[in-house]
Each structure stands twice: as structure tokens, then as C-alpha cells.
Structure 1
Amino acid sequence: MRDWQAVGHGANAKIGVLLVHGFTGSPASMRPWAEYLNARGYTVNVPLLPGHGTKVEDLNLVKWQEWPAKVESELQSLLAICEKVFLVGFSMGGTTSLNIAARYSQELAGLILVNPMIHIRFVPAQLAWLLSRFQKFRSAIGDDLKRPGVTEAGYDANAIVGVYELLKMCSVTRKQLPKVTLPVQLFHSTEDHTLPVSNTEIILKGIASREKSRIELVNSYHVAPLDYDAEIIFENSRLFIESH
């Protein structure tokens, strides 16, 4: 429940990978992936996003700008010590990563997304704001996993003001998708109970990247980095990084 970093070694020590977790989640959802990459020599960084890792009430106190600001700060740290840096985002971490990539496409070597979010169908930010006037919390959306006995160690409730801020970030970021020009690798679970496939389709259509690939995950739900297809994600991301 805190920022986690590991210095690389060998020939890959100067290659950095910044991995960003999802809404109501924690670095635990990205830690096995980060450890996999670090074991192969890469320098890795898994930040804890503001409003997370404490208590769910804190997620109702965060402005959406704090999430990309945190990731940008960690990115600057990696750019200072690494020759190349890759950005990795899961779910809302994908939204945050796209927001950063729209401004850092020239500095980043590549972007990897897993079940990224860019909208909630038929739920505009204004509706979430109206709901937040009457209800501060709803049932949790986390731990959508096919693999039993696994958790992303997130909150057990959903902060509605936080959802409002999240949807505002989605709206802003969606308008910036044409500014994303770097190579992109996207993983999508064919059975995702949290986000519909329209998120993946909007992102792939909206970004201006010449090189963009989509890999289907058939044995995982939303939290795919911890699910049965984790090795597919880990191995293909390694190949993507090596090729760039």
C-alpha cells in the first residue's frame, strides 16, 4: 500500500517501466508484473495513486489532476536515470497513462494498456456529480477476477465523488487521444464485467499511433494482470519492450 520501486541490473538497467494501478485498487495489482520485469533487469516503479491505499473516504477528497500529476512526477524521476521509459496502465491507470502519453509521446518509448478506461457508457460526469449529492459510496467494483483467492487489495466500496473526478479525467483525456503518437500495445479481456469493449475500441480508434496492437485475453476478467492470462501479458509486454 505504498510506492514501490526496484533498480534494474545488467543490460536492461537503463530501461525504465512505470506501472499504474486502477481506480479503488492498489500497487498490489501491478506488483507481480513489475517483479517479473525487474527480474529481467528493468528498472521498475509502481506508484500509489492519491486517495488510494488508506481509506475509501480519502478517494472522495481527490481532484482528478492529482492522479496524472503523481504519475508525471514518477515519470520525471525515471527519465532522469533511464535511457528509455515505458508507461504501463491498467483500467483507470490506463486513462492516467493516456493523459500523460498525450504530452510525453516524444519522451516515452512505448505505452502498454490493460483493459483501459475512457468512458462509462450512458454515465456522464454530471450524472455522477448529481448522484454524489445524495450518496457518497456504493458497492465495490474491484476484484473482478476469474482466478479464485486473488485480490488487488483495493477498497471494499466505491467513492462517488471519486467517480465524478474519474469521469472528468476520462472526458479530458478522450479529447487528447489524437496527441498520442507513440507505439501502443493493448490487452483486452473478452469477458470483462467492469468495462465494456467500447473503451478499447474508442482508444484504438482515437490515438494517432502508427504502431498499435491489440491482444485478446480469453481466460481473464477485468483485473487481468492478476488473473489466468497474467503470463501472456507479462511475456508479450517483455517482447514489446525489447522490440522498442
Structure 2
Amino acid sequence: MEQDVLAGAEPFRFEGNDVGVLVSHGFTGTTQSVRPLGEALAAEGFTVAGPRLAGHGTSIEDHAKSTAESWIRSVEEDLAWLEGRCRAVFFAGLSMGGTLSLYFGATRPDLIKGIVPINGCAYLANPELAAALYSREAPPVLPGVGSDIKMEGVEELAYPGVPVPSTREFAALLNVTRDLLPTVGCPTLLIQSREDHVVPPGNGPFILDAIASVDKELVWLDDSYHVATLDNDAPRIAALTIDFVKSLVSED
């Protein structure tokens, strides 16, 4: 049984019209990082779901027991909720949430009409981290990756450390999703910070080239770090996502 949820890390759902958008947070983060985006989408009238991924927003010990499969199941629950009340479903996600948007864009083409990976991750290019994942000498918890934010005074609600067991699960999710990229065919709006201290910015062009989507675009952010949904470019991200969704549902 999972522990009590931290204040601010609760999942959210906003009932709206028949266009749904799932908004996912990232690895070791919480719904706090994407709630402003979810609220902006809801203000436009969309039905919005912001799942709390398993093991997140509780404790590091809880996170260490979570798996890639459990994160996928967390998303599936809210996708089912959206599917039951919406004629079109979109998926926007930050960091690992962006990875999950790509995963579901590939595996649920019947449901997902478009995706918006925001500093989404397909690779980390971090040999030091990779070497630690199966090392006998590695500590059980590695330094945290939260609050990479350019705007002063803004903090992300995230764990202060990264458990090694769940980081192995994250690596597995990256490997699977990377292999699935050529099967992503839905419209895709990639949003990528030029300066990101968690995920290499090269992920944006890499994903753009790898996916099969005909309708795809990469937009660069110049005034935000990794947690861009809480940073200086947050209003721009919301506007871009809203315009992206509106452009596709207006075609129906």
C-alpha cells in the first residue's frame, strides 16, 4: 500500500468538453510540475487528467519500489477515464511524462490523437549514471534531479534523491520507448529547452528525426531549464499546447 500523498502532489481531473488531454509529470516529480498546464487546458474547456504516477509524491522508499510497468498502469487508468467521455484524446508530458507520451503515441494509435513531449527523454547520455546502476559500490539513492528551473524563487515538488532500483526501471522505459519511436505516427509537438541540466537538449532533434509522424514540429525554449512547465516559458507552453490541440480537433 502506498503512503500518504504529499500536499501538492495529488492527481487532478477537470471535467470539460469532449476533447481530453492527459498531462503527465516526470521521474521523481509530482503533478505540481504540470498542474499549471492542466489548469490552462481546463480553462479552455478541455477535459483534463493529471495522474500521479505510482511511487511518486509519497516517499523515496515508495519510489524505490515502483516500476516502469506501474507508471504505465497509472497512465492507463486516466486514459481510460478520458476515453470514456471524450471523442479525442491528447497526451502532454514533462520529462519522463514526455517519454510516456511517446510510448502511448506508439502503442495506442487508436486513442491518442496527438502528443506534446516537453523536454521529453529518449536517452540520457550519462555514462556515470549508467555505470552506477548495477555497481556494488553505488549508494542506494543518487543525487536528485528536481528543480532545474531558471526562474528565481520557484521550486519543484520532487524527491531530493533518486533511488537506484527505480532508475533502472526508468532506463528500461527509455530503451523500450526509443525502440518504439519509428512507430509513432500521430501529430507531435516537441517542446525543448535549449539549456537543460537534466535531459540532453539533443533529445528534441533526435526524437523529431526518429518518429514517423508526418505532422511534427520542434519548438525551442530560450528562457527555461528542464522543468519548463514551472519556468519562464510556462505561458508559452500552455499557448502552444492549446493551439496544437485546437488545430487538430478543428479538422474533425
TM-score range, shorter chain: over 0.9
Shift of 1:129: 3.0
Q: 1:133 to 1:65 in 2, by over 3 A?
A: farther
**Structure 2 runs not aligned, ≥5 long:** 1-8
CA RMSD, Structure 1 to Structure 2 (Å): 1.5
Task: Give the alignment's TM-score, normalised by structure 1.
Answer: 0.94
User: What is the match of residue 5 of structure 1?
Assistant: 13
1:203-222 pair list within 5 angstroms: 203-222=207-226
Shift of 1:132: 6.9
SS in 1 for 2:151: coil
* CA distance, structure 2, for counterparts of residue 156 and residue 242 of structure 1: 37
**1:124-173 Cα deviation digits (max 9, x unpaired):** 99634313763111221100001111122111111121111101110011
User: What is the match of residue 185 of structure 2?
Assistant: 181
User: What is the match of residue 191 of structure 1?
Assistant: 195
User: What is the match of residue 69 of structure 1?
Assistant: 73
User: What is the match of residue 92 of structure 2?
Assistant: 88
**Structure 1 runs not aligned, ≥5 long:** none
**1:89-137 Cα deviation digits (max 9, x unpaired):** 1101111121111111232111011000111114499634313763111
CA contact (8 A) 1:187 1:215 kept: yes
After the TM superposition, which parts of structure 1 deviate over 6 Å for at least 4 consecutive aligned residues?
Answer: none
Q: Relative to structure 2, which stretch is displaced further, 44-53 or 55-64?
A: 55-64
Counterpart amino acid of residue 13 in structure 2: Q
CA contact (8 A) 1:124 1:167 kept: no
User: What is the match of residue 47 of structure 1?
Assistant: 51
* CA distance, structure 1, for counterparts of residue 122 and residue 129 of structure 2: 12
**1:67-102 Cα deviation digits (max 9, x unpaired):** 112112211110111011110111011111211111
CA contact (8 A) 2:146 2:158 kept: yes
Identity of aligned residues (%): 36
* CA distance, structure 2, for counterparts of residue 77 and residue 168 of structure 1: 27
- Aligned partner (choices 139, 144, 165) of residue 143 of structure 2: 139
Task: Give the alignment's TM-score, normalised by structure 2.
Answer: 0.91
- Aligned partner (choices 24, 31, 34) of residue 27 of structure 1: 31
Counterpart amino acid of residue 182 in structure 2: P
Counterpart amino acid of residue 93 in structure 2: G
Shift of 1:206: 1.2
Count of residue pairs brought into register by the alignment: 240
Q: Relative to structure 2, which stretch is displaced further, 167-176 or 123-132?
A: 123-132
SS in 2 for 1:117: coil
Counterpart amino acid of residue 194 in structure 2: T
User: What is the match of residue 112 of structure 1?
Assistant: 116
- Aligned partner (choices 155, 160, 168) of residue 156 of structure 1: 160
Counterpart amino acid of residue 56 in structure 2: H
Q: 1:156 to 1:93 in 2, by over 3 A?
A: same
